[in-house]
Amino acid sequence: MDYSKRKYRIYLLVVAVLIAAAAACNLPATIVTPTNTLPPSIIEFPTSTAGVLLTGPAAAQPTSQPAVAIPIPTSTSLPIPTPSPAPSLIQLTSSGCCVSPFWANDGSGIMFIDKPSSEALAGIWGVSLNGGSPSLITTRLGIYSKDMQLLAYPQAEQTYVERIATGERWIIPSKGRAVSFSPDGTWLAWTAGSLEPPFDTAQRQVWISRFDGTEARVICEVTGGGFAGWTPDARMVITGRENGTTVVWLTKEGNGELEEVCDGNIFEMVRAERLRGVSLSPGGSWLAYQVTFSSSPEANGMWVVNTSTLERRKLPVFGAFRWRDDDSLLVVPLELGQEWHLLVQVEASTGEAINLTTPGVTNFKIAKGDWSVSPDGRYVAFVSAVDMNVWVMALP
């Protein structure tokens, strides 16, 4: 080998080493599995995405009626970081795809609205937790019933509900407004009325009808609020504004048994200034909410209220939250300037909090609040702020 060739090879070697070093520096400082295939220890879900559903997890139904007495709120201590097995992270999509992921009802995969290429069809696409390329689930978009047998959609300023299997469809008298299916799909609810500002004094009506639009009726008139959700036993959460405060009510009965729920068939769960983020636990036992910018500073923060006993508790953390199960709340604390987000679990019944992740060990950062919990509470799907792909975190 002559001198020039040897020097040339040395140059190339130097370049290769430097590029490799730079590339190594670029690797995220996180324990991740940047692959579409789960490690064997995580393959626990069925791989099929057939029969996927679009709503939240089913859970036990609360049966007891709420107590009348309103207990004094209790506060809990600050969370104590608790060492725990580091959750694993799995990358499910690539090339910055996709946004607003949601879970198949059987937890077997993640779905999102997409059109992966110019030749592909737009619709709901899904990717299995076992990895692989996303596949088209359906091109029919709208609001699905929990069993995915019924689909609501707007057309020519009307709202239709269609039975997917037969194509039979009905006009719902909601005048093109969005509707919400009850957990068993037999009833619909929607809010009508003014949506113009000022919002806190707008008069609204909460309607229900059967899924085919029959028996439509107003069950409640409220100011500045409306229908906010169903409990698993089809009672209705309704919000409104009274004297500058927000009120959250729960109907005493469900499944459309009521004619006029606002007159005696409804009870108040929560009343607070600047109340936001109302969210029922999967089993309906607890309601989580936030109070912000209140004239009573001690009221500001995250709270839970028991829907049966009305026991209230202020939680020791404040941030984004999602229910993991009927008692456990997952919270990403609002702490600016952290390279990675933290996931905290808080028990509604006790206020006890533990850290599920340790920044520096489980490194994740959620983009634009885009995260959701699997129906069985074992996984969190999120859009990563680092690469804008959908990732899944297996929780301890």
- The rounded Cα 207 to chain-centroid distance in angstroms is 24
207 binds other proteins (CB under 8 A): no
Hey, which bits of 234-284 come out as E strands? 236-242, 245-251, 266-272, 275-280
CA-wise closest residue to 103 among 355, 386, 378: 378
Closest contact distance (angstroms) between CB of 330 and other proteins is 12
By CB under 8 A, name the one of 1, 4, 68, 165 that touches other proteins.
4
Q: Which two tokens stand for residue 252?
A: 């005493």
Site for other proteins in 246-285 (CB under 8 A): 273-274, 276-277, 279
Q: Which of 175, 257, 260, 361 binds other proteins (CB under 8 A)?
A: 175
Binding mask 279-298 for other proteins (x = CB under 8 A): x----------xxxx-x-x-
Helices (H), 126-179: none
Q: Contact between 361 and other proteins (CB under 8 A)?
A: no
| 205 binds other proteins, rule: CB under 8 A | no
Q: Which residues contact 261 (CB under 8 A, 6 or more apart)?
A: 219, 220, 236, 238, 251, 252, 253
Q: How far is the CB of 46 from other proteins (least distance, A)?
A: 27
Select the residue interacting with other proteins from 83, 167, 198, 264 (CB under 8 A).
198
Stretch that binds other proteins, among 66-74, 103-111, 259-267, 367-375 (CB under 8 A): 367-375
Q: Which of 19, 60, 80, 361 binds other proteins (CB under 8 A)?
A: 19
Q: Determine phi and psi for 98, rounding to 5 degrees.
A: -150, -175
The verdict on 195 binding other proteins (CB under 8 A) reads yes
Taking the complex as a whole, the smallest distance from the CB of residue 303 to other proteins amounts, in Å, to 10
332-362: b (≥16 Cβ within 10 Å) or e? bbeeeeeebbbbbbbbbeebbbbbbbbbeeb
Task: State the minimum distance, in angstroms, from the CB of residue 222 to other proteins.
Answer: 15
Residue 69: CB minimum distance to other proteins, A: 27
Q: Taking CA 270 as the corner, what is the angle to CA 178 and CA 291, rounded to the nearest 5 degrees?
A: 85
d(CA 128, CA 389): 15
Residue 370 within binding range of other proteins, rule CB under 8 A: yes
Q: Should residue 25 be labelled a site residue for other proteins when binding is judged by CB under 8 A?
A: yes
Distance of CA 358 to the CA centre of its chain: 23
User: Does residue 9 touch other proteins according to CB under 8 A?
Assistant: no
- The footprint of other proteins on residues 58-97 (CB under 8 A) is 96-97
